[in-house]
């Protein structure tokens, strides 16, 4: 039956797929699914492809493909030759071609079947479509929400700042007014008191002088009468009285010096309202706490979107987890003890094994024994004779490694140590290597990066440490916690897209935030987020801070940050 159908289809009126003119169809290419006229058959055989053209006579029932109709591509006009349709795909140029294109512009090029090429393109585009739906659009929506939230935050801060300014202005006005009113009242009281004292001093003297003046006038009148009377006795008595009066007049003196208040206006100075300073935005809030089912999370590394690598040192294993809503799914587990772990953007997982002078790639398949992994894991980079202590993947997909001299794990940390900081590419090519021969570091155990700068947590002892930042030439740029009064124990640290550094101090149960110059920004108490026994920290692909804890139960916390 199938053969009959194929013969019927072959006998239907059609034109040659090559010249699209001749209806005398005699042959078919099984590899290209082309129907050919006798003239185009020879031409088609010369078209280069990775296949050997299997051209058969349509009279041969055995070789006609029953799927030729379903594999047929709808005609598409050539953009260079308007009278012809595309018939094949040039493998070298990766573009569709017509018969004239093959003869003129693509001679000796290898050709491929249009249906296969188009199918691969459709598959690729569908993959892009899936990536858009699962990754790109969610990321855009997430970033939009973040910027919208940031805009709302700044709008609120503007209102808070303006309200604060007006409230403070009114407060100052009221305070200054009250102060001036009180001062004016005090001044007036002092002036009134002074005039009262002056009155008490001067008024009695005025009264006494009035009496004296009146008495002297009486004496004068009497002198005139006595002198006119020529009475010697009255003259003698009046003379004595006059001498007594003159003594009283001469005895009249000012009792004390008087002073007066003179008001002088103060120099007019505009009161200082305050200062405006730009403050870096960095806010934190815990948005989710998850019960993972793990007994401990003491090392973390971000993997793909929604996926996370964690280490459980107690059980000596590494797990690949995926967050689905409020639940954790374990995708994979490696039974191996590692010192540190990171992942490249291409998905390769790099670990530091205990006492191994190299970095290793974890295999894709799970293994049951530690020995199998130690023996079969590929070496990613050899650090011998130095022993690696920590590693970090940068946003540029480079890897930074810190190493110490052999046996350093058994020496006191407070002694300087020979340290090498190595920066390599994702293909393990060395970009830079900085050697510090017992002149800077004691024991580097954490690494992160801000741009081209390298931030290294250096443990001085079990109870003290510091953060050392190197520039791209290996020179110390700045340090934090470099003295006894400002020491910091760094259990883990991460950098944010805007180059803020978040330090996890598990002993104090706090997060400290520094800017790219090492200036302190803020401190958050993890207990305020209901986070206890925090051991590890990482930044997820969607820019959230993940904190792992050394306990069972709710031991994975997701913190949103605004910066």
3-state secondary structure 352-418: EECCCCEEEECCCCCCCCHHHHHHHCEEEEECCCCEEEEEEECCCCCEEEEEECCCHHHCCCCCCCE
In a domain, 258, yes or no: no
In a domain, 270, yes or no: no
The total number of structural domains that make up the chain: 3
Give the structural domain span for 223: 120-251
How confident is the model at residue 495, as a pLDDT? Answer: 96
In sequence order, the 6+-apart residues with CB closer than 8 A to the CB of 355 are 387
Q: Are residues 540 and 423 in the same domain?
A: yes
Note the pLDDT tens digit of each residue in 325-366. 778 899 999 998 999 999 999 999 999 998 889 999 988 755
How confident is the model at residue 138, as a pLDDT? Answer: 85
User: Low-confidence residues of the chain, pLDDT below 70?
Assistant: 1-13, 31, 48-52, 60-74, 251-257, 365-377, 409-412, 482-486
Domain end, chosen from 87, 119, 151, is at 119
In a domain, 268, yes or no: no
How many Cα atoms within 13 Å fall on the side-chain side of residue 380? 28
Q: Are residues 28 and 45 in the same domain?
A: yes
Q: Are residues 287 and 314 in the same domain?
A: yes
In a domain, 114, yes or no: yes
In a domain, 260, yes or no: no
CB distance 433 to 414 below 8 Å: no
Q: Are residues 108 and 243 in the same domain?
A: no
Q: Are residues 215 and 329 in the same domain?
A: no
Domain CATH number, residue 537: 2.120.10.30
CB distance 50 to 110 below 8 Å: yes
Q: Are residues 440 and 520 in the same domain?
A: yes
3-state helix, strand, coil in the chain (%, to 5): 30, 30, 35
DSSP string, 83-131: TSB--EEETTTTEEE-HHHHHHTSTTPEEEEHHHHHHHHHHHHHHHHHH
Q: Are residues 469 and 388 in the same domain?
A: yes
Q: Are residues 131 and 96 in the same domain?
A: no
Place of tokens 């003129």: 104
Domain end, chosen from 75, 90, 119, is at 119
47 secondary structure, DSSP code: S
Q: Are residues 115 and 131 in the same domain?
A: no
pTM to 2 decimals?
Answer: 0.66
Q: Are residues 79 and 206 in the same domain?
A: no
How confident is the model at residue 13, as a pLDDT? Answer: 57
CB distance 332 to 366 below 8 Å: yes
In a domain, 275, yes or no: no
Q: Are residues 69 and 125 in the same domain?
A: no
Q: Are residues 21 and 42 in the same domain?
A: yes
Domain end, chosen from 103, 119, 135, is at 119
How confident is the model at residue 8, as a pLDDT? Answer: 39
| Residue 439: alpha-carbon gap to chain centroid | 32
How confident is the model at residue 488, as a pLDDT? Answer: 85
In a domain, 256, yes or no: no
3-state secondary structure 473-532: CCCEEEEECCCHHHCCCCCEEEECCCCCEEEEECCCCEEEEECCCCCEEEEEEHHHHCCC
How confident is the model at residue 542, as a pLDDT? Answer: 86
| Residue 415: alpha-carbon gap to chain centroid | 34
DSSP string, 415-456: S--EEEEEEE-TT--EEEEEEEESSS-S-EEEEEEETTEEEE
In sequence order, the 6+-apart residues with CB closer than 8 A to the CB of 471 are 452, 453, 477
Q: Determine how many CB atoms are found less than 10 A away from the CB of residue 90.
A: 20
Burial track 491-522 (b if 16+ CB lie within 10 A, e otherwise): bbbbbbeebbbbbbbbeebbbbbbbbebeebe
In a domain, 267, yes or no: no
């Amino acid at each position: 039956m199938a053969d009959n159908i194929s013969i019927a289809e072959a006998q239907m009126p059609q034109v040659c797929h090559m010249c699209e003119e001749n209806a005398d169809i005699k042959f078919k290419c099984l590899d290209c699914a082309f129907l050919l006229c006798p003239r185009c058959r020879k031409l088609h055989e010369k078209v280069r492809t990775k296949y050997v053209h299997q051209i058969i006579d349509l009279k041969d029932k055995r070789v006609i493909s029953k799927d030729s109709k379903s594999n047929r591509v709808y005609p598409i006009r050539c953009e260079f030759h308007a009278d012809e349709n595309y018939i094949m795909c040039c493998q070298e140029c990766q573009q569709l071609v017509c018969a004239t294109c093959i003869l003129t512009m693509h001679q000796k090029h290898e050709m491929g079947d249009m249906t296969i090429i188009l199918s691969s393109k459709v598959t690729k585009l569908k993959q892009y479509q899936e990536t858009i739906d699962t990754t790109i659009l969610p990321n855009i929506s997430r970033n939009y929400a973040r910027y919208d939230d940031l805009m709302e935050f700044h709008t609120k801060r503007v209102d808070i700042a303006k309200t604060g300014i007006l409230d403070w202005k009114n407060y100052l006005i009221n305070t200054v007014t009250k102060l001036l009113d009180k001062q004016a009242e005090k001044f007036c009281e002092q002036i009134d008191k002074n005039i009262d004292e002056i009155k008490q001093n001067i008024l009695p003297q005025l009264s006494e002088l009035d009496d004296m003046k009146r008495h002297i006038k009486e004496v004068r009148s009497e002198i005139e009468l006595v002198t006119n009377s020529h009475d010697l006795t009255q003259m003698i008595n009046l003379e004595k009285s006059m001498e007594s009066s003159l003594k009283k007049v001469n005895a009249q003196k000012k009792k004390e010096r008087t002073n007066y208040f003179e008001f002088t206006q103060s120099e007019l100075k505009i009161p200082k309202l305050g200062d405006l300073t730009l403050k870096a935005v960095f806010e934190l809030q815990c948005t989710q706490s998850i019960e993972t089912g793990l007994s401990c999370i003491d090392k973390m590394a971000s993997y793909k979107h929604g996926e996370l690598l964690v280490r459980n040192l107690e059980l000596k294993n590494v797990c690949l987890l995926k967050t689905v809503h409020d639940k954790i799914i374990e995708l994979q587990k490696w039974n191996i003890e590692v010192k540190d772990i990171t992942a490249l953007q291409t998905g390769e997982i790099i670990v530091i094994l205990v006492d191994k002078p190299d970095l290793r790639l974890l295999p894709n398949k799970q293994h049951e024994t530690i020995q199998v992994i130690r023996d079969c894991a590929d070496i990613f980079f050899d650090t011998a004779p130095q022993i690696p202590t920590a590693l970090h993947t940068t946003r540029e997909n480079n890897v930074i490694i810190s190493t110490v001299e052999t046996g350093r794990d058994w020496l006191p940390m407070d002694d300087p140590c020979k340290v090498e900081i190595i920066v390599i590419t994702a293909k393990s090519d060395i970009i830079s290597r900085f050697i510090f021969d017992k002149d800077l570091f004691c024991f580097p155990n954490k690494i992160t990066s801000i741009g081209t700068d390298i931030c290294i947590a250096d443990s001085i002892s079990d109870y003290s440490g510091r953060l050392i930042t190197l520039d791209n030439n290996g020179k110390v740029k700045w340090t934090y916690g470099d003295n006894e009064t400002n020491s910091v124990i760094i259990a883990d640290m991460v950098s944010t897209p805007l180059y803020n550094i978040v330090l996890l101090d598990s002993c104090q149960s706090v997060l400290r935030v520094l800017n790219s110059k090492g200036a302190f920004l803020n401190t958050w108490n993890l207990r305020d987020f209901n986070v206890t026994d925090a051991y590890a920290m990482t930044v997820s692909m969607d820019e959230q801070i993940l904190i792992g804890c050394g306990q069972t139960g709710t031991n994975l916390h997701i913190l949103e940050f605004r910066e």
